[in-house]
């Protein structure tokens, strides 16, 4: 996406292995990631002033046999905050975490005029036990791994009444629980994807300059184009609605049109259990089924690039909804109660039961849906409406 330079990945078991690699000079340019952003610095012939001020290096370039270290993360942070509309000048900021990534954000906040910067750690003077005393906090930056591939969040943002901006360095899932809560509170927020891609663009330019004196991707608009493409590719479309509303049929057709993998959560549950859902209900009851369902929802929804058909009651557990939202948009397939298929569905024994169930669940579907699609007539029409919506996300 950024050029024609070959690129691979190497992993090292310890700092000695890192040192052997650096001394070998076998690569003329590479990125360095956690936990070696500081350890690599003493192995280099020169370090860019900004990287030295930050105290970490993430990009190394060989120029005429000498190794120079740079920090392109800072450029990634600057663009990410700009795109998110988060202004730090004169603001009181909290950084969650005290590792190498935190150093980059401290430098950024100082450079752009934050009034105060406090670092929260598990065992420091300012920790997760007393952090809520920082009632004047306006900017929060998360550099910890809490929230990666999960719906956990490091703290409760609702307790910071003056909050104006939140940045989460995590980019998987696309919308962490921290970012989602910030947005629900009307606070500007961003994940780490823009930062990730922009630092890559800047690093790529350093590699290209060292190779032949050219810059391959000059404009940061290329970063935003790539971010939009990645978000579109990775975002799930999660179909919710009553059992018998056509989620599996619609999902399979939508999968073909969008070129995304189709996953039926009920089928995944049956594979895991080695028995049908009616059999699960009959032998172990609904409570057991919901437990297994939640486990499958978490495993599937945290992955990206899928069309996911959920069970009718999956939305009853708020943590399930959180997982659905973490990497996707929720589409409610709305079908009238009398049109719902009822065969083989343990909780849909007769129309009266279905209507009572529908009355309890409809407010939940309405609340969590990003898009509503009527599915009472031709299925292809319903698929077409969702397809048009999906192209906009």
Give CA angle at 298 (294, 303), nearest 5°: 150
Among this protein's residues, is 291 annotated catalytic?
A: no
Active-site residue (options: 16, 37, 66, 257): 37
* DSSP-assigned beta bridge partners for residue 31: 59
- The CB density around residue 154, as the number of other CB atoms within 10 Å, is 21
Q: Indicate the burial class of 248 (C-beta count within 10 angstroms; 0-12, 13-18, 19 or more).
A: middle
| DSSP for residue 91 | -
Q: Compute the distance between CA of residue 373 and CA of residue 392 in angstroms, rounded to an integer.
A: 15
241 — alpha (psi -120 to 50), left (phi > 0) or beta? left
B/e letters for 124-151, b = 16+ CB within 10 Å, e = fewer, are eebebeebeebeebbbbbbbbbbbeebb
Give the list of residues 6+ apart from residue 308 with CB closer than 8 angstroms, or none. 236, 237, 238, 239, 251, 262, 263, 264, 265, 300, 301, 324, 328
**Phi, psi values for residue 169, rounded to 5°:** -70, -15
Closest CA to 231 of 125, 329, 112, 94: 329
Reading the block at residue 263, the tokens are: 């996953």
Reading the block at residue 318, the tokens are: 């708020």
Question: Which 3 state secondary structure label does DSSP give 214?
Answer: coil
Q: Compute the distance between CA of residue 190 and CA of residue 255 in angstroms, rounded to an integer.
A: 28
Give CA angle at 247 (264, 252), nearest 5°: 65
92 — alpha (psi -120 to 50), left (phi > 0) or beta? beta
Active site residues: 37
């Amino acid at each position: 996406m950024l050029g024609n330079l070959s690129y691979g990945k190497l992993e090292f078991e310890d700092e000695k292995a890192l040192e052997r690699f650096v001394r070998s000079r076998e690569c003329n340019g590479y990125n360095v990631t956690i936990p070696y952003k500081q350890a690599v610095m003493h192995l280099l012939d020169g370090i860019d002033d900004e990287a030295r001020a930050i105290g970490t290096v993430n990009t190394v370039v060989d120029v005429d046999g000498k190794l120079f270290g740079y920090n392109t993360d800072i450029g990634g942070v600057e663009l990410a905050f700009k795109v998110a509309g988060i202004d730090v000048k004169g603001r009181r900021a909290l950084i969650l975490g005290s590792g190498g990534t935190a150093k980059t954000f401290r430098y950024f906040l100082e450079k752009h005029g934050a009034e105060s910067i406090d670092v929260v750690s598990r065992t420091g003077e300012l920790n997760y036990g007393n952090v809520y005393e920082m009632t004047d906090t306006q900017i929060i930056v998360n550099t910890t791994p809490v929230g990666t591939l999960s719906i956990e969040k490091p703290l409760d943002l609702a307790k910071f009444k003056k909050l104006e901006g939140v940045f989460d360095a995590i980019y998987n899932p696309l919308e962490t629980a921290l970012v989602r809560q910030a947005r629900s509170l009307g606070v500007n927020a961003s994940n780490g994807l823009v930062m990730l891609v922009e630092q890559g663009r800047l690093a790529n330019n350093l590699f290209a300059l060292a190779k032949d004196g050219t810059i391959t991707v000059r404009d940061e608009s290329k970063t935003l184009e790539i971010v939009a493409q990645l978000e579109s590719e990775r975002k799930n479309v999660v179909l919710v609605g009553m059992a018998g509303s056509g989620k599996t049929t619609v999902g399979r057709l939508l999968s073909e049109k969008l070129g995304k993998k189709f996953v039926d959560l009920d089928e995944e549950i049956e594979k895991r259990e080695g028995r049908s859902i009616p059999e699960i209900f009959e032998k172990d009851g609904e409570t057991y089924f919901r437990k297994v369902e939640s486990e499958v929802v978490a495993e599937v929804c945290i992955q990206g690039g899928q069309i996911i058909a959920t069970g009718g009651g999956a939305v009853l557990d708020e943590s399930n909804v959180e997982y659905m939202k973490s990497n996707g948009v929720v589409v409610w397939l709305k079908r009238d109660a009398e049109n719902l298929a009822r065969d083989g569905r343990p909780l849909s024994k007769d129309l009266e039961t279905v209507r009572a169930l529908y009355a309890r669940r409809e407010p939940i579907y309405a609340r969590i849906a990003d898009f509503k699609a009527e599915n009472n007539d031709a299925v292809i029409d319903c698929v077409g409406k969702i397809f048009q919506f999906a192209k906009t996300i």
